[in-house]
Amino acid sequence: MVMAAAPSSFARTRTRTPSPLATPLSLQHPLLMAERAALDVVRGVSRLMELSAPVQALFSRRDIQILKNVPYLGTGERAHVLDVVRPRHADHRAGLPVVMYVHGGGFETCSKETHWTMASEFARAGYVVFNINYRLAPEHPFPAGLEDVCSAYLWVLDNAERFGGDKQRVVLAGESAGGNLVTSLALAACSERPEPWARAVFRRRHVPMAVIAACGFFEVSNASRFRELAQQSWFVTKQAIEQIARSYLPKPAHYEGEHDLANPLRLLESSEEFTRSLPPFLVTCGTDDPLLHDSERLERALRARGVTLRAHYYPGEIHAFHAMWWRASSKALWEDTRRFLAARIYERARDAAMADALTGSLCVLDEALASSAA
The region of weakest confidence among 48-52, 198-202, 221-225, 248-252 is 48-52
Q: How many of the other CB atoms lie within 10 Å of CB of 44?
A: 11
pLDDT digit string (tens) for 318-361? 999 999 989 999 999 999 999 999 999 999 888 777 666 656 55
Q: Which has the closest alpha carbon to 178: 137, 134, 238?
A: 134
Do 331 and 325 touch, CB atoms closer than 8 A? yes
For residue 90, the model assigns a pLDDT of 84
Domain ranges in the chain are 24-373
310: three-class secondary structure by DSSP = strand
Rounded to whole angstroms, the Cα distance separating 218 from 222 reads 10
Q: Which has the closest alpha carbon to 187: 254, 262, 131?
A: 262
208: three-class secondary structure by DSSP = coil
pLDDT at residue 47 is higher than 60: no
Give residue 14's pLDDT band: very low, low, confident or very high (50, 70, 90). very low
Which one has a higher pLDDT value, 253 or 53? 253
For residue 87, the model assigns a pLDDT of 94
Do 128 and 96 touch, CB atoms closer than 8 A? yes
Do 209 and 136 touch, CB atoms closer than 8 A? no
pLDDT digit string (tens) for 84-121? 999 998 888 889 999 999 999 999 999 999 999 999 99
For residue 13, the model assigns a pLDDT of 35
Q: Report the amino acid identity of residue 173.
A: A
Rounded to whole angstroms, the Cα distance separating 327 from 333 reads 10
- The pLDDT > 70 percentage for the chain reads 75
- The pLDDT > 90 percentage for the chain reads 67
Q: Which has the closest alpha carbon to 66: 87, 48, 49, 43?
A: 87
Residues in Cβ contact with 136 at an 8 Å cutoff, skipping those fewer than 6 apart: 79, 105, 107, 108, 109, 145
Rg of the chain in Å (alpha carbons): 22
pTM for this predicted structure:
0.83
Rounded to whole angstroms, the Cα distance separating 339 from 104 reads 23
For residue 23, the model assigns a pLDDT of 44
**CA distances (Å), 333 to each of 115, 208, 327, 329, in order?**
16, 21, 10, 6
Do 131 and 171 touch, CB atoms closer than 8 A? no
For residue 240, the model assigns a pLDDT of 79
Report the pLDDT averaged over residues 155-166. Answer: 97
For residue 356, the model assigns a pLDDT of 62
DSSP for 241-257? Answer: HHHHHHHHS-S--SSTT
For residue 56, the model assigns a pLDDT of 56
DSSP for 52-117? Answer: -HHHHHHHHTTTEEEEEEEESSTT--GGGEEEEEEETT--TT--EEEEEEE--STTTS--TTTTHH
pLDDT digit string (tens) for 217-255? 999 998 888 777 655 555 446 677 888 999 999 999 999
For residue 363, the model assigns a pLDDT of 62
Q: Which has the closest alpha carbon to 181: 198, 158, 164?
A: 198
Do 121 and 200 touch, CB atoms closer than 8 A? no
pLDDT at residue 3 is higher than 70: no
For residue 59, the model assigns a pLDDT of 56
Which segments within the chain are labelled E, that is strand? 64-71, 81-87, 96-102, 128-132, 165-175, 210-214, 281-286, 309-314
For residue 366, the model assigns a pLDDT of 63
pLDDT at residue 10 is higher than 50: no
Do 123 and 85 touch, CB atoms closer than 8 A? yes
For residue 241, the model assigns a pLDDT of 85
At residue 2, what are phi and psi to the nearest 5 degrees? -95, 125
For residue 238, the model assigns a pLDDT of 67
Top-tier CATH class for 24-373: alpha beta
For residue 4, the model assigns a pLDDT of 44
pLDDT at residue 40 is higher than 90: no
Do 188 and 201 touch, CB atoms closer than 8 A? yes
For residue 15, the model assigns a pLDDT of 35
The region of weakest confidence among 61-65, 134-138, 151-155 is 61-65
